[in-house]
Amino acid sequence: MDGYDFGRLTYLVLLGAALLMWFFTQNRQSLGKTLQMVMAWVFIFIGVIAIVGLWGDIRSTVSTTPQMAVSGNVIEVPRSFDGHYYLPMLVNGKPVTFLVDTGASQIVLSPRDAQRVGFDADQVTFHGRASTANGVVRTAPVRLDSLALGPITDSNVSAWINEGDLDQSLLGMDYLHRFSNIQFSDGRMILSR
């Protein structure tokens, strides 16, 4: 800090002190009430900043999750508020929510979901490689005993476990090709077999 900056800082401190002294002398009769009003506005300001900063988390927690509709072998899935499609499925009898990823080739389980459905990361061999948006990650091939979406159940389905930092399991084109028709209409994905 040079002399010029120190001079500016001194000026600002003196100006702030003068404004505070003026504020206290003008409001000494109703100082308690004025401080209450100032604190109320400070808390309102902090609250608005917190709501704006956390709006995405608040909206995902408060908003109801769109529900898929099943009619025979036709499944309609509404687009989520974030623009993606999510499919709640049963993998080996355990619930897993998949992100529909038309850019992915295979079914990819996150490490957390893989463990939940019965795969031990220490017992699988990570010898595959996959190029992702976050770089190259190691993968391990596995077989799912069952994969159920509503009334549709597939057995002995190939999948991969991602060793990287994957938050959401992915449902790629290998699975989507099992459907005879896939449509996107009015914010809904329609799958039929």
Q: Are residues 95 and 113 in the same domain?
A: yes
Q: Are residues 46 and 133 in the same domain?
A: no
> Residue 160 belongs to what domain range?
69-192
98: nearest Cα among 84, 87, 85, 112: 87
Number of structural domains found in the chain: 2
Pull the structure tokens for residue 43: 């808390």
**62-87 pLDDT, tens per residue?**
655 557 788 888 899 998 888 889 99
pLDDT at 143: 92
Q: Are residues 127 and 168 in the same domain?
A: yes
The residue out of 39, 62, 85 marking a domain boundary is: 62
Q: Are residues 116 and 172 in the same domain?
A: yes
Mean pLDDT of all residues belonging to the chain = 84
pLDDT at 33: 80
Task: Return all residues near 189 (Cβ < 8 A) that are at least 6 apart.
Answer: 76, 77, 79, 85, 100, 182, 183
CATH code for position 105:
2.40.70.10
- Whole-prediction pTM value? 0.63
